[in-house]
């Protein structure tokens, strides 16, 4: 996350945490850092949990389908900024006369807000950070499906490491889709299908910034590691060459944070403090998709609705 001025100051604070001022500043900075990175972590959940299906049909045994997908995540304005009140802070305050302000999240833009405080009578100023400053985030990913027994499909996903500005993104995932309608005699599976889908994603978002030289070493990057499990129920209707699909799902996600740089003691102290930001999150989402079949090829799009909206557009080929 760009220009993490908040985190740059955490290390010397913690190293001397026996001082009350330093301990209070440490707590303020960890609070601000958590607010800053939270929207980006939430966004990654929706990006990694979208596009796992094109319909609810079952594949024939050992059928293989490969897909190239464009993944576009839309970044709403309400997630690009965060509200900060001095009532949430212990030592730091907003420079000027205001007692509350808005600063960018990791998805936001620029800011001229400055926080000020004091350590043992010495004045301290910290600039609010900058964000990605984009209205959407897009990348390409590869996906493959293999037909197994009893209407089950094994799905694998790979996104090569990409760079947008100074931010890197990569995701790996695996999933299973099982056709339920085959077990219901009254359903004509040539026209209507119901399926259950479960997937696991592992993703990494990292940001490099200008090296900050501190007393005990240098820091120059922050990494967000995430894991997410998706459970989804989907239904599709076939009309001639088209498949229309709707789905509902729930995701459970876990995050951890790590600072990169030089100085073993510095990084150890800093990353120990960042464990207070680790946690888990549950989200609900809905999907609507359409797929057009053309012999061995098909073309599909899926839009995901939730806290964030995500669009998948794919071209698929049955080997």
The helix/strand/coil state of 253 is: strand
pLDDT of residue 38: 83
DSSP state of 57: P
pLDDT of residue 13: 52
130 Cβ contact list (under 8 Å, min separation 6): 2, 3, 104, 108, 109, 110, 111
Rounded to whole angstroms, the Cα distance separating 179 from 235 reads 10
Helix H segments across the chain?
5-8, 10-15, 20-48, 264-274
55-75 burial, b at 16+ Cβ within 10 Å, e below that, comes to: bbbbbeeeeebebebebbbbb
pLDDT digits (tens, 9 = 90+) for 72-97: 999 998 898 989 998 888 888 888 88
Q: What is the pTM (predicted TM-score) of this model? A: 0.83
pLDDT of residue 35: 83
The residues of the chain scoring below 70 in pLDDT are 1-19, 21-23, 26, 164-166, 207-219, 265-266, 269-270
277 Cβ contact list (under 8 Å, min separation 6): 30, 33, 34, 37, 255, 257
**Integer-rounded Cα radius of gyration of the chain:** 23
What architecture (CATH level 2) is domain 5-318?
Beta Barrel (2.40)
pLDDT of residue 208: 65
Domain ranges within the chain, ordered by starting residue:
5-318
pLDDT of residue 215: 47
């Amino acid at each position: 996350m760009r220009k993490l001025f908040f985190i740059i100051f955490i290390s010397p604070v913690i190293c001397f945490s026996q001082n009350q001022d330093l301990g209070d500043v440490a707590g303020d900075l960890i609070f601000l850092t958590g607010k800053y990175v939270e929207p980006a972590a939430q966004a990654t959940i929706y990006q990694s949990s979208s596009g796992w299906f094109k319909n609810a049909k079952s594949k024939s045994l050992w059928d293989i389908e490969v897909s190239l997908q464009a993944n576009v995540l839309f970044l709403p304005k309400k997630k690009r900024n965060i509200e900060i009140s001095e009532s949430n802070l212990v030592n730091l305050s907003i420079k000027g006369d205001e007692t509350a302000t808005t600063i960018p999240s990791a998805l936001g833009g620029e800011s001229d807000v400055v926080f000020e405080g004091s350590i043992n009578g010495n004045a301290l100023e910290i600039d609010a950070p900058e964000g990605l400053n984009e209205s959407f985030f897009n990348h390409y990913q590869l996906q493959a499906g293999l037909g197994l027994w009893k209407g089950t499909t094994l799905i694998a996903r790979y996104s090569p490491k990409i760079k947008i500005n100074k931010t890197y993104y990569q995701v790996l995932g695996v999933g299973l889709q099982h056709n339920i309608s085959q077990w219901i005699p009254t359903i004509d599976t040539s026209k209507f299908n119901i399926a259950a889908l479960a997937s696991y994603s592992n993703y990494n978002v990292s940001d490099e910034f200008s090296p900050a030289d501190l007393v005990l070493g240098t820091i120059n990057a922050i990494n967000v590691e995430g894991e997410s499990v998706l459970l989804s129920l989907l239904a599709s209707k076939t009309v001639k060459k088209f498949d229309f699909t709707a789905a509902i799902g729930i995701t459970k996600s876990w995050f951890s944070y790590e600072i990169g740089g030089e100085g073993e003691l510095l990084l150890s102290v800093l990353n120990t403090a960042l464990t207070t930001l680790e946690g888990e999150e549950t989200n609900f989402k809905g999907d609507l998709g359409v797929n057009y079949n053309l012999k061995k090829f098909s073309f599909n799009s899926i839009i995901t609705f939730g806290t964030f909206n995500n669009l998948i557009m794919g071209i698929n080929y049955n080997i």
